[in-house]
């Protein structure tokens, strides 16, 4: 992983949060909250659940691809509403995350919508708790998984992490809720980016000491 590119990616993530975190919103119009508030609440829930740092990062980052779409719309002069509900911008956003993070961050983000389809297919109470808007979006995403899809999903190495992220995602929609600031979680992202380089330096130091 290119360290300069990774740091540039972190700066881009911060810019997306600051520029579009309030403009883009999560949920139905009547009950929506700003995208950044949702991201911070989701990351906080992950921390409260004692999740490992990569999963906390995934919780923070899972919906920010919508800000990337909004930035592209602005650049093209497209005045579409900035509510988060259109199809997920998976490929460009996952490619962006891949410049800075490993699979333990990227894969739960990639799978978190599939996790909803999975949960609906195995837990009737989960389906009953979804709003009409969420059910409409579920239909656009392919609806409940069939048996073969469930088996493929369960075989994914990060399926459990994606399910945990999905459940936090559903709960992280409380207007005005107090959370740590964005800077707190940006520090966590920076630590994740730096950790592999620090480990390599330690390995080199150990070899030189032999």
Read off the CATH number of the domain in which 115 is found. 1.10.3210.10
79 assigned to some structural domain? yes
Q: Residue 128: inside a domain, yes or no?
A: yes
Determine, yes or no, domain membership for 36.
yes
Residue 41 resides in a domain: yes
Q: Is residue 210 situated within a structural domain? A: no
Q: Does residue 135 lie in a domain region?
A: yes
Query: What's the mean pLDDT when you consider all of the chain?
Result: 86
pTM for the full model?
Answer: 0.87
User: Which residues constitute the domain of residue 118?
Assistant: 3-204
Q: Can you give the chain as a three-state secondary structure string? A: CCHHHHHHHHHHHHHHHHHHCCCCEECCHHHCEEHHHHHHHHHHHHHHCCCCHHHHHHHHHCCCHHHHHHHHHHHHCCCCCCEECCCCCHHHHHHHHHCCCCHHHHHHHHHHHHHHHHHHHHCHHHHHHCCHHHHHHHHHHCCCCCHHHHHHHHCCCCHHHHHHHHHHHHHCCCCCCCCCCHHHHHHHHHHHHHHHHHHHHHHHHHHHHC
Residue 103 has pLDDT above 50, yes or no: yes
Is the pLDDT at 113 greater than 80? The verdict is yes
Per-residue model confidence (pLDDT) at position 180: 97
In the chain, the number of structural domains is 1
């Amino acid at each position: 992983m290119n360290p300069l590119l990774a740091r540039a990616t972190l700066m881009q993530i911060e810019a997306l949060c600051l520029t579009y975190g309030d403009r883009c919103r999560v949920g139905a119009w009547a009950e929506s909250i700003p995208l950044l508030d949702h991201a911070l609440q989701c990351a906080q829930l992950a921390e409260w659940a004692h999740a490992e740092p990569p999963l906390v990062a995934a919780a923070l980052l899972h919906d920010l691809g919508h800000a990337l779409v909004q930035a592209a719309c602005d650049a093209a002069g497209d005045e579409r509403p900035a509510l988060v509900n259109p199809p997920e911008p998976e490929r460009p956003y996952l490619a962006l995350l891949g410049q800075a993070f490993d699979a333990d961050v990227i894969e739960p983000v990639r799978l978190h919508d599939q996790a909803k389809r999975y949960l609906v297919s195995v837990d009737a109470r989960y389906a009953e708790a979804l709003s009409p808007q969420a059910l409409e979006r579920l239909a656009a995403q392919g609806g409940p998984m069939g048996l073969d899809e469930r088996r493929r999903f369960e075989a994914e190495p990060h399926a459990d992490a994606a399910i945990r992220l999905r459940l936090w995602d559903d709960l992280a929609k409380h207007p005005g809720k107090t959370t740590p600031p964005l800077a707190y979680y940006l520090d966590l992202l920076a630590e994740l980016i730096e950790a592999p380089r620090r480990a390599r330096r330690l390995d080199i130091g150990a070899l030189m000491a032999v």
